[in-house]
Amino acid sequence: MIYLDYQATTPVAPQVAQAMEPWIEGKFANPHSPSRWGHEAAAAIEVARKQVERAMDLKGGSIAFTGSATEALNWAIKGTVEKAGNGRNRIITVATEHAAVLDTCEWLAGNGIDLTILPVGSDGCLDLDLLAREVDDRVLLVSIMMVNNEIGVRHPLTSISELVHKAGALLISDAVQAFGRVELCNGPDLVAISAHKIHGPKGIGALWMRKGKEPAPLIHGGGQEQGLRSGTLSPALCVGFGAAAKLADERCTLDYDHVQKLWNAALDALGPGWIVNGSIQHRYPGNLNIRREGVDGARLIADLRDIAFSLGSACASGSGRPSHVLRALGLDYRESRSSIRLGFGRYTKQHELVEACHRLARAALEQEKLDA
């Protein structure tokens, strides 16, 4: 199999699996237990916490571990609304956000919050002048991702944070596709990340919180994670997250240069007739979302079962819904159906990517001939 679905998940790095192994087998103690073994597990979790925080390189805050980035985003948004006591009752987000943000905001809108969802241009970029006009003294929070999971477009979070903070609002950012791949912006007040996007284990995420901006707890119980997020932590998952973060921090520039070369090689190998969805200038190059007129992306996936790629977000693809991100760019139903996403990263070999792209191009031509 040629794996080209790095935005959906990444293979666990060998160093990460090795770091986790002792905590899966012999070191099974509850890290919240007062025993010596419990203290040992708790110490390992704190080492992992520091590794993740060091890799994020954000100033003036700390992280709490969560079960996923989806939980972290729900917590950040709902917890900020619950904690608010300043009379602000408005949320602003963007039409191309992940469902973890959009669905959470829509749920809040059904419970009395005033919600504004801003459009993007045909390149997937947000109009900052429009944002500036919308952010006023009624806005409690703005939620905007750093790197889009479907089209790879990067938003200018530094400029956005200045606009948001000038209005006295908080900025929340989904950095799942940015963390470990590009340098994070220090502007947001709350930042959600995930381990399995950086060659770590599934089942663990984190929320970085600027000091004084911590959201109200979403999960109550034993008072773990500084009393902010109850639940017994898994030492194995935390250690794996820490090891993955440390490795990503060490390899960030090397990995970025690698995917930039792969981007160029993929476009060359695909040949003419393909259109890139989203801005080419403002994007992460490990995400190549493309379309070809008359092609059915789902049929390509069915025809090329030994190549792993996707139609877009794994969450949306699993539901059968058309991509809200591509529709937000102004693509019609046929154009959305003709789009596929190729994601590559640290362990993608260039010759395998080129082979896959040649096969994709041939399969697309076969479809055109059959449908002619």
For 283-329, how does the pLDDT look when each residue is reduced to its tens digit (9 = 90+)? 999 999 999 998 999 999 999 999 999 996 544 544 556 799 999 99
The torsion of the CA quartet 230, 231, 232, 237, rounded to 10 degrees, works out to -100
Whether 2-8+252-363 and 14-247 share one fold: the answer is no
Mean pLDDT taken over the chain: 95
Over residues 61-95, the pLDDT tens digits come to 999 999 999 999 999 999 999 999 778 999 999 99
pLDDT (0 to 100) of residue 124 = 97
To which H or E segment does residue 194 belong?
Answer: strand 190-194
Domain 14-247: CATH class, spelled out: alpha beta
- The SS3 of residue 81 is helix
- Predicted confidence at residue 26, as pLDDT, reads 87
Contact 43, 29 (CB under 8 A): no
Please check whether residue 164 is in contact with residue 171, taking contact to mean a CB–CB distance below 8 angstroms: yes
What are the phi and psi torsion angles at 127 (to 5°)?
-80, 110
237 token code pair: 């998952």
According to the CATH classification, is domain 2-8+252-363 in 3.90.1150.10?
yes
> Where do the structural domains in the chain lie, given as residue ranges?
2-8+252-363, 14-247
The percent of residues in the chain predicted with pLDDT above 90, rounded, is 92
pLDDT the model gives residue 297: 94
Percent of the chain residues topping a pLDDT of 70: 97
Sign, Cα dihedral of 63, 66, 70, 73 = negative
**Sorting pLDDT into bands at 50, 70 and 90, what band is 116?**
very high
pLDDT tens per residue across span 139-191: 999 999 999 999 999 999 999 999 999 999 999 999 999 999 999 999 999 99
**What pLDDT score does 107 carry?**
98
Write the pLDDT tens digit of every residue in 211-249. Answer: 999 999 999 999 999 999 999 999 999 999 999 999 999
3-state helix, strand, coil in the chain (%, to 5): 40, 15, 40
The rounded distance, in Å, linking the Cα atoms of 256 and 182 is 7
- Helix/strand/coil (H, E, C) string of 257-268? HHHHHHHHHHHH
The pLDDT assigned to 313 comes to: 54
Q: For the chain, how many helices (H) and strands (E)?
A: 12, 12
Residues with catalytic annotation?
Answer: 315
- pLDDT given for residue 97 in this prediction: 98
